[in-house]
Amino acid sequence: MQGELLPDTLKRLWKSVEDKQLSSQEFQQKQDSLLNEYRSLWERSLLLDGCSDLRQSTLFEIGSYVGKHDMNEVETLCSQALAEIRGEWHEKVASIDEKSVEMFYDKSQGMLYELMWWHTLIDDLSPLAYVVALKFARQNGCGSYLDFGSGVGSGAILFARNGMSATLADISSTALNFSTWRFAKRNLAARHIDLKAERLPEDAFDFITAMDVFEHLVDPTKTVRDLSAALKKGGYLFGRFHAESDPDRPHHIILDFGPTLRELESHGFVKVWQDEWLWGHQVYRKL
């Protein structure tokens, strides 16, 4: 259906399988085809000029930034980054407090490798939730966009490439410096906010993404208050409010999202959409 978001389309098509109107094989073919459309938009938006393969483009991009020209070495650093982050976390974060966690993210180089590799889609298609978010924002007439917890900036690049005014906010100077470099390399305009030194502007955005962010926060309810102040009345917050215990990701420090969701409700947020098929993201509107 025209304007239907991918998770809703797939859920509807699966109902056709249950009603014996579509075979499982036909469903899988349609799902693969539709996912490929989202993948194509993601890849076109992130590829450097002159590149046609996202994996190679990504390795060249991060290698250029860190001054490494052996792509095999860069790929090894990317593929081993999650293990490096786990070790770095156990070594440097003695207690879960705002200062320790902030310092970890502010300095971690491993996060650059891990996030850039994740965004190649080689191991996981969930970054395509940014494409779902972009389509939702377009359908609802949004134009001023904030990526909160923006990391290496891939999601904001997608939005900026596709006509949205993009702002990126993070506590990591390492990530912000890299994403600023990435935007300049593409001649794209964006505002970068270092949350250690600057507050979010109030009543400034009609669409905010917080993708896989809340599980990393020491005080997620405070973040809800900050995002509420930054979001215009009638604006949307698109995020994933779920995480599971994972020994490979000790930096996922929040597993109970009940307080976060209650805080959203107390600030007048109402859930208006949920991905019930692919990755579980939700959209809350500030009334």
Domain for residue 214, yes or no?
A: yes
Domain for residue 142, yes or no?
A: yes
Q: Which residues pair with 148 in a beta bridge?
A: 169
Give the pLDDT band (50/70/90) at residue 216: very high
Domain for residue 145, yes or no?
A: yes
Query: Could you tell me the CA-to-CA distances from 194 to 8, 15, 251 in Å, in that order?
Result: 36, 45, 20
Domain for residue 56, yes or no?
A: no
- Name the residue range of residue 197's domain: 126-286
How many angstroms from the chain centroid is the CA of residue 217? 15
Type of residue found at 101? V
C-alpha 205/C-alpha 81 separation (Å) is 33
Alpha helices (H) in the chain, listed in sequence order = 6-18, 24-46, 54-66, 71-79, 81-92, 98-107, 110-118, 129-139, 154-161, 173-185, 220-230, 258-266
CATH of the domain at 252: 3.40.50.150
Domain for residue 16, yes or no?
A: no
Nearest by Cα to 226 from 212, 255, 205, 252: 205
Q: Dump pLDDT digits (tens) for 38-88.
A: 999 999 999 999 999 999 999 999 999 999 999 999 999 999 999 999 999
Domain for residue 130, yes or no?
A: yes
Res 286 pLDDT > 80: yes
C-alpha 254/C-alpha 3 separation (Å) is 34
The whole-number pLDDT of residue 3 equals 77
Domain for residue 182, yes or no?
A: yes
The whole-number pLDDT of residue 202 equals 98
Average pLDDT, the chain: 96
Domain for residue 155, yes or no?
A: yes
Length of the chain counted residue by residue: 287
Region 119-143 average pLDDT:
97
b or e along 239-256 (b: 16 or more beta carbons within 10 Å of the residue's beta carbon)?
A: bbbebeeeeebebebbee
Domains held by the chain: number: 1
Q: Are 172 and 105 in contact (CB under 8 A)?
A: yes
Give the predicted TM-score (pTM) of the model.
0.96
